[in-house]
Amino acid sequence: MGGQGIERREILRYIGIASIAGTFPGFNKWEFACPGGHAQDAATLAARGSSPYKLIFFSIEQFRMIEHLAEMIIPRDETPGATDAGVAEFIDFMLANRVPVNAKREIRSTEDAIANGNEAQGRFLAGLNWMNAHSKAEFGKEFMDCAVDQQKSLLEELAYKSKFKPATESGRQFFQLMRDYTVVGYYTTRIGLESLGYPGLRSVWPSMPGCPHLNDPEHLHLQEPKASFDIVSDWRA
Amino acid sequence: MAATRVFDVIVVGTGAGGGTAMKILCEAGLSVCAINSGPRTEPARDYKLHRQVYDLKYRGYGNPMRLEGKAHQEPYSVEESEYSENSDIFEHDVAYSNAPGTDWYWKRCKGTGGKANFWGRSSARFGDIDFKAAGLDGFGENWPVEYAEIAPWSTKAERYMGVASTVQNRPSNPDGEYLTPMPWRCIEYIIQKGAEKIGVPYLPDRCAQLTVAHDGHPACHYCGNCSRGCDVGSFFSPTWFTIPQAEATKNLTLLTNALVRSVLVDEDGKARGVAYIDRTTKREVELYSKVVVLAASCVETAHIMLNSKSRHWPTGIANSSGQLGRNLSEHLYGCPGYGYLPQLRGQPARPDNIADSTVAWMPRWQNLKNPHEEKFIRGYSVYMGGGCGEFPGHYSQLEGFGSEFKRNIKRYYPTPVGALIQAPTLPSSENYVDIDPRKKDIFGIPQLRFHFQWGTNELLMWEHSKQVMIDLFKAMDAELWGMDDEPNRPGTSLHETGVCRFGNDPKKYVTNKWAQTHDVPNLYICDASIFPSSTDKTTTMPIVAFTMRTCDHLLENFKKGTHSRV
């Protein structure tokens, strides 16, 4: 197409403007989770004056437990996990700033946002307490002192319908809340989006590729890939 | 600008209608002053579209305190998020009222170009099935125009804007002139097969998105962020199309941050100009012209007219019919079904959302053979979306935690699909806007007040669409995860119509068939407020088409001497 070259340059110029990422102090974990335009190693961060993330909502004990739960929900396996993505820091920051990551009420005003934020803060703190009380009742120890298998079985009771136990509703609600924040925190980082193969990480496409299975328009004969988790997408080449 | 300068035409509003009007009038050589409520929209500053969500401090949610202290604290829509933070193009200073029992969500973009900077780009033509609906089913009143008269203007609007689609021969949807259609994604083929089995059409949408370079505008680069505004103008928006073209003529004076309060009248009750509040100085300023065009976006046009009271017009300018503000219509929006396509489980991620659009849609299929086939009259259309998106929201449907949960999130990533119904409300005497008798906004302007309830007909369509989705998911061998209990709040669609209806009888309509007010011949309206009823189609392209037609008539009136130049 005539003129496409000039237009493409114009587009790239705008991308250049847009990719000057907003940086703010104390977020080395997020920055680590967002390579590409960001400093990645400790030395570079130190040189830039960035300090490690300072907790603004949780105590250090609560934070460790949040980090542990997040990693149980999204562990590092074939791809990085919640800790790698700074999910616990994300939760601390979002809760402290009352950001409606998981709004239980409709937010039409600043007042609504504050009320929602206060509610979320309360639910997190109560949830951590519930987990500890529950693990004490089950295993005689606080959650973080339990063995990995015990922790896993505690979470399974909250996560899988088939394993639900009576009188654990508040624990189940906390688990869902924790899972919501973890998933949002993970899949809004570059490594999270890369683990999905999110196509929007690329900002310019020559055309819309469309469906590659035109010989199977009903998509009834597609093979679901088995064991391999890290699927190389054909469009990324 | 000299304080005493008089313009040939004042155009209030610079969106789909106002932008088009000022371009045409400037190109015809008239001196035009366009008045825009808010600041100039600057894509390089106001759209942060190519930024990834992790580049934003609050991951796109924005600072929840950002609208603290504002008169209207609700965000515009998904378009107003952290991506538009530090931009002042959305209205939060001017409050509005809802009558008891009404829950209207009035979303306003006050930046130049208005809502048309961020629109959904669906651009179907209106046809006789819409214009003559009253004649077919006996409800309400026909439009004062026929398709044969409007078709050339639709063609003109399509050629100007660039609309991608195919010729489809649907009785509900006249075909137009189209650019190469958007290629279909996997989900489209699967949905189409399923839809075919239940007798529902699934066809390329009429999408005003440039699949090829068009008239000096570059082809789409598929970044997928259209709803945050296009940074290069690859879909129609006043910011990239009409405003620069009007400015190039040197006939345009563009005032920004100027909130129009009322239309001024002369001794005969004719329009003499407008009074506006300069938002910066908070002072009221008067500006004069031979002709006034209101294109402030439907209900705001009625707001200005209702606030234009004088000896001649005690209930608002050009309101001898008493119909000003009446018959507010809207699109009922809501999700009648969402679920997943098991056929796509485990497939590699595909760039499904890079066009940020429904690629295809279900054009109206109900009540076509007979206007009373269904329990409701007229009909609705449905947009489908899905596939790999920006966030794996489907995680909430998947049980568990750990590596298996993570694997499932990826495994189901290409599979989710969901529907959006676009159902027209029927005009009703219960649905209208008026002036709140008690409340004034921070500039001292009496506030607009909404009175609006969903009617039975549109709620029957809503119920119907839920059953269609149950049938469709079954026909696709797919699983339905859920559906909205209630439709979205009124106002969500941004497609309000009515309030200044056009028609031949001055006793029943605000404007004549040319969108010139019956009472005040030098006052014209170029927005969706003239449309007497809502249809299953969106409003932007028809606003452009009808504005082109109205401006042609307006210029003719200058030629004939009905209006004299300065």
Answer whether residue A89 is part of any domain: yes
Contact B274, B263 (CB under 8 A): yes
Q: Does A85 touch chain B (CB under 8 A)?
A: no
Tens digit of pLDDT for each residue in B191-205?
A: 999 999 999 999 999
For residue A35, what pLDDT band results from cuts at 50, 70 and 90?
very low
For the segment B46-64, the average pLDDT, to the nearest whole number, is: 86
Q: Do B267 and B281 meet the contact criterion of CB atoms below 8 Å apart?
A: no
Contact B190 A219 (CB under 8 A): yes
* Residue showing tokens 């529907």: B419
Sheet arrangement for strand B97-98: B97-98, B446-451, B432-440
Q: Which residues of B touch A234 (CB under 8 A)?
A: 348
**Spatial separation of the C-alpha atoms in residues B537 and B126, rounded to whole Å:** 7
What are B253's two structure tokens?
């004076």
Tell me the percentage of chain B whose pLDDT exceeds 70.
99
Which of the residues A40, A219, A235, A236 would you substitute to probe the B interface, choosing the one with the greatest number of B C-beta atoms within 10 Å?
Answer: A219
B346–A224 CB contact, under 8 Å: yes
Q: pLDDT grade, residue A126 (50/70/90)?
A: very high
Residue numbers of A between 8 and 27 with CB closer than 8 Å to B:
8, 10-11, 14-15, 17-19, 21-22, 24
A149 interface with B at CB cutoff 8 Å? no
Interface of A with B in 165-204 (CB under 8 A): 179-180, 183-185, 187-190, 193, 195-204
Instruction: Give ∠ CA B66-B68-B70 in degrees, rounded to 5.
Output: 110
Rounded to the nearest 10 degrees, the angle between the axes of helix B147-161 and helix B540-560 is 110
Residue of A nearest to B47 (CA): A18
Q: What is the pLDDT of residues B398-457, one digit of tens each?
A: 999 999 999 999 999 999 999 999 999 999 999 999 999 999 999 999 999 999 999 999
Could you tell me which residues come within 8 angstroms of residue A23 by beta carbon, excluding any fewer than 6 positions away? Answer: A31, A38
Segment B210-267, tens digit of pLDDT: 999 999 999 999 998 888 889 999 999 999 999 999 999 999 999 999 999 999 999 9
> In this predicted model, what pLDDT tens digit does every residue of A169-197 receive, in sequence order?
999 999 999 999 999 999 999 999 999 99
Residue A35 domain-assigned? Answer: no
Per the CB < 8 Å rule, is B50 touching A19? yes
CATH architecture of B10-560: 3-Layer(bba) Sandwich (3.50)
**Amino acid B60: pLDDT:** 86
Judged against a pLDDT cut of 70, whether residue A154 lies above it is answered with: yes
Pairing of strands B32-35, B6-12: parallel
Residue A230 pLDDT exceeds 60: no
Average model confidence (pLDDT) for chain B? 95
Q: Are A60 and A119 in contact (CB under 8 A)?
A: no
Domain ranges of chain B: 10-560
H/E stretch holding B482 reads strand B479-482
Distances (CA, A) of B43 to B10, B105, B269, B295, B371: 25, 26, 41, 22, 45
Q: Tell me if B213 and A77 make a contact (CB, 8 A cut-off).
A: no
Length of chain B: 566
Output the pTM of the full model.
Answer: 0.92
Give the chain B residue nearest A224 (alpha carbons).
Answer: B346
Does B213 contact A3 at a Cβ distance shorter than 8 Å?
yes
Query: CA nearest B195 in A: which residue?
Result: A218
What is the total count of domains within chain A? 1
Is residue A156 domain-resident? yes
% pLDDT > 90, chain A: 62
Among the partner residues A183, A198, A203, nearest to B349 by beta-carbon distance: A198
On whether residue A146 sits in a domain, the answer given is: yes
A residues 59..78 contacting B (CB < 8 A): 72-75, 77
- ipTM value: 0.94
The answer as to whether A147 is a domain residue is yes
| Burial class of B183 by CB neighbour count within 10 A (0 to 12, 13 to 18, 19+) | middle
Name the residue type at position B117.
Answer: N
Burial B206-244 (b: 16+ CB within 10 A, else e): bbbbbbebbeebbbbbbbbbbbbbbbbbbbbbbbbbbbe
The reported pLDDT for the residue numbered B50 is 81
Q: Where are the beta strands (DSSP E) in A51-166?
A: none
* Domain membership flag for residue A231: no
- B494 pLDDT band (50/70/90 cuts)? very high
Q: d(Cα B108, Cα B258) in Å, to the nearest integer? A: 15
Domain of residue A65, residue span:
60-196
For the residues of B63-126, what is the DSSP string, one character each?
-TTTTTT-S--S--STTSSGGGTT---B--SS--EE-TT-------B-STTGGGGS---B-PPP
Min Cα distance A202 → chain B (Å) is 7
Residue A229 lies in a domain: no
Nearest residue of A to residue B191, measured between CA atoms: A218
